[in-house]
Structure 1
């Protein structure tokens, strides 16, 4: 009988090497993330595989799964520990090797396999590991599935049927690339900076973008799991600034930045100006709704208010639904509403047919951006950005807050703003006209300026975003108000980046 996992064990001891360790907080809202060796060990990962296999049987899903791993020094070892657990639970494992996360999602379709388990810590710092899981393509697990998986693993309530098997799918990236690039080439020449932060996407970016006719300038595409320059995260200003510098140096039409597991794409325009992913989403929504009047979109609560107020989207009859932040939430909402696209401020985009298959893929997003430019040959990326109504917004800012405390802190912040609204208190002279609490709290002032606070779903952090359609001063004033409310809670630490 496999033992129950311990919450903590001391590395380099007999217990650490002979017992599973799994910290409960690693089971997050829609995927799993742990600090490897501090919060989970290899036997703990094996327990996770057993739990996932058990859950697939409970759900009545055919016990077959696609798996792969990202480019970190420890990811292959973690994947094989996961595989042994899955096989012990009677699951047939199709291993596609080193890959981006979207390749595993594609594998569900290409190999006709219902489930997926991708070993990746995405854009998290080195030391982190995790698994993105699903059992109904193109969806990934949400809170219900993750909650049940947590119960099974922590209680060691495994159904170890045995009879599992393993097969390695040779050269699977070739099949993915062939499918992805089986489309018309761009009609107009375009120079593109492709930055990968030395993450997994670097193995494929230049080849994929070149295949559709782009002139590619590779930046940090050599694989190096130490991430020597910056974390491969297109929300990180260090990465965006590096892309901007290369765009200006080479005269590129656009800079594209891919995250550590290749499911997100960040954008820098031809002048070297970083464009936050929600604004890129508005530009794409304009382009898509012009071709498809009345198109339905889904966006997360961190995103710009322009999806509702932009005159071009209104004229095109576009409909937008604001929903919970998180790739699993937005993916499901896109599926439920049969929306054309779902956009997240983090850069996860979910294109339904005919553009994509409903899951997030940074290269599909890149193609959509290049197609938009190709359809507007007389306009640069900067022109398209400048065509949008002006707003002043912050990057995503994340003050530290322990996983065990962050949801309680958010509840206190929500209660505080509700109390302010009920008492008629003003924020920088403006009444509070709306509180959107579908995911944390988005407090909206009368002039449209808003500030968001929510708990991060994958790190011990809170998330803060602010935007104003009026002025930079109003944006900064709202940030000061939001930060003041946050600082009423001593559990809130320093920001990773701030304005």
Structure 2
């Protein structure tokens, strides 16, 4: 992690660390890195979006880069537009599911995949040096406005088709998904009931689509007797789902179901997920001919592995899904259409969810100063062998140890001064016993660090 870029681009409080000056310089750094070409720029609904977008665009133009301004646009639409307009990169001004006082800058490659940590490091070096490309008055980049929404919907309808019509309640959280997600669902032939769909930049619910933040969506699904409820975060790169009985479908269950459906739709193959995903996915997709590969946390790591292995589907247990047949950008909007197709082909979500095995998952956050993280992780890696009797170890992102009926992941947060412990076991008793041990180990490691 660099000075500016974290796990998911730059994400800071507006007019504190994230200022128009920084956005201007990120634009200049990206233009210098690219050395010309075209960049698509979109923003989410945050009140600071236009300010930061204009500053970033000015920086790009000053380096001779042409800009396609797609205005208010969810992250999936930016990823789609990069390929549609044959651009060399894309930028979304978004803080995804963070509170409204935050904003961020996330950069995308020509293939729709997010910039890798290595690429972000290059941008950091240029930012730090202040050595930006400057072009003459007659070589300054041009800017044009474009709206790729119709194309996006048209292309999505080529890949997804419903035999029946459904009642869908859609909660876009006052985010950028509101300008396209309800329209795609309607074009699929569904009856759409919208919640929080005015893109105001003032969020009436917590943006992360989880059981707590989607209580109103769940209630609406029950009251309206709807077939499904779908929700997004601020930039609609994530999806949260409520079933036909008005229950939030846990992320792990939904991840397993959609991975299984992608295998049914596109054929057997590799499913890519992250080190914090549980056993349910493996147990559900193996009989269908799926093989699970685990990688670092973050959509770019998932996209890289998908591209490398030619995988069928990639997803994180946070509602972030990547459908490589569509794009390498995480896309909650296309995911929503896919969920409807799965219901159309396989039956009600409440019934499908019963097929996914359930295990006990526990999570803990332990305060840890950022400067102690690296040493604490070294100590954990050394001590874990003495503390636990395990069969396998994965250390690509933190330390994950696993046995036949449990696993534990120790991982420093990429965005907060905390250590995360995530574990899963077959019984509540075993899970608690493991967490007690794990917590002790982490606290001792932080003290010694």
TM-score (norm 2): 0.91
Aligned to 2:206: 231
Q: Structure 1 stretch 209-218 or stretch 267-276: which is displaced more?
A: 267-276
Aligned to 1:386: 354
Pick one of 163, 178, 181 that aligns with 1:205.
181
CA gap 1:51/1:351 in 2 versus in 1, 3 angstroms: same
CA distance in 1, matches of 2:249, 2:375: 31
Contact 1:194/1:219 (<8 A) preserved: yes
Aligned to 2:424: 467
Aligned to 1:56: 34
Residue 485 of structure 1: CA displacement?
3.4
CA distance in 2, matches of 1:416, 1:397: 16
Residue 69 of structure 1: CA displacement?
0.8
Contact 2:42/2:72 (<8 A) preserved: yes
Q: Structure 1 stretch 451-460 or stretch 327-336: which is displaced more?
A: 451-460
Partner of 1:181: helix, strand, or coil?
helix
Partner of 1:243: helix, strand, or coil?
helix
Pick one of 282, 306, 313 that aligns with 1:334.
306
Partner of 1:93: helix, strand, or coil?
strand
Partner of 2:99: helix, strand, or coil?
coil
Partner of 2:142: helix, strand, or coil?
strand
1:34 aligns with 2:8: no
CA distance in 2, matches of 1:100, 1:113: 17
Alignment of 1:60-459 (within 5 A): 62-162=36-136, 163-182=139-158, 185-228=161-204, 230-234=205-209, 236-310=210-284, 313-353=285-325, 356-377=326-347, 380-394=348-362, 404-405=370-371, 408-409=372-373, 411-413=375-377, 415-421=379-385, 423=386, 425-426=387-388, 431-444=389-402, 446-459=403-416
Q: Structure 1 stretch 100-109 or stretch 280-289: which is displaced more?
A: 280-289
CA distance in 2, matches of 1:177, 1:357: 14
Residue 401 of structure 1: CA displacement?
5.1
CA gap 1:122/1:27 in 2 versus in 1, 3 angstroms: same
What residue ranges of structure 2 are gaps of 5+ in the alignment?
none
CA distance in 2, matches of 1:133, 1:292: 29
Partner of 1:322: helix, strand, or coil?
strand
Partner of 1:370: helix, strand, or coil?
helix
Pick one of 430, 440, 447 that aligns with 1:484.
440
CA gap 1:152/1:181 in 2 versus in 1, 3 angstroms: same
CA distance in 2, matches of 1:262, 1:47: 26
RMSD: 2.4
Larger RCO (alpha carbons 8 Å, 6+ apart): 2
CA distance in 1, matches of 2:380, 2:422: 18
What residue ranges of structure 1 are gaps of 5+ in the alignment?
1-22, 492-499
Give CA deviations for 1:74-132 in whole Å, capped at 9, x if unaligned: 11100100011111111111111111111111111111112111111111112222111
CA gap 1:383/1:213 in 2 versus in 1, 3 angstroms: same
CA gap 1:348/1:184 in 2 versus in 1, 3 angstroms: closer
CA gap 1:215/1:456 in 2 versus in 1, 3 angstroms: farther
CA gap 1:138/1:249 in 2 versus in 1, 3 angstroms: same
Contact 1:24/1:154 (<8 A) preserved: no
Aligned to 1:4: none
CA gap 1:188/1:219 in 2 versus in 1, 3 angstroms: same
TM-score (norm 1): 0.83
Residue 437 of structure 1: CA displacement?
1.2
